[in-house]
């Protein structure tokens, strides 16, 4: 399951970030924001029409992430 499929209000744990040569920079940026394996992550809100997700990482960090980037984050509930 990916972060883009998680329903608002549900808590999951990050398993991994799908990485290829083109997304290595994205993976580094997400890790710098705290999106690392075994960290709890919650979708707070979703914008309409595939817009950004408002996400809480851990217990304090809140970020907005593009829907395309959320598809690269594998999670488990």
pLDDT tens track for 26-60 = 888 999 999 999 999 999 999 888 889 999 999 98
| Burial letters 40-52, b for 16+ CB under 10 A, else e | ebbbeebeeeeeb
- pTM for this entry: 0.88
Q: Which fold has domain 3-76?
A: SH3 type barrels. (2.30.30)
- 32's enclosing H/E stretch is helix 24-32
First to last CA, the chain: 9
Model pLDDT, residue 65: 94
Each domain of the chain, given as residue ranges in start order, spans 3-76
Does 23 have pLDDT greater than 90?
A: no
């Amino acid at each position: 399951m990916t972060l883009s499929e998680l329903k608002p209000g549900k808590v999951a744990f990050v398993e991994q970030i799908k990485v290829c040569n083109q997304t290595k920079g994205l993976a580094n940026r997400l890790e710098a924001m705290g999106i690392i394996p075994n960290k709890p992550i919650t979708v707070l809100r979703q914008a309409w029409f595939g817009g950004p997700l408002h996400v809480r990482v851990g217990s304090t960090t809140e970020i907005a992430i593009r829907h395309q980037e959320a598809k690269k984050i594998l999670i488990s509930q």
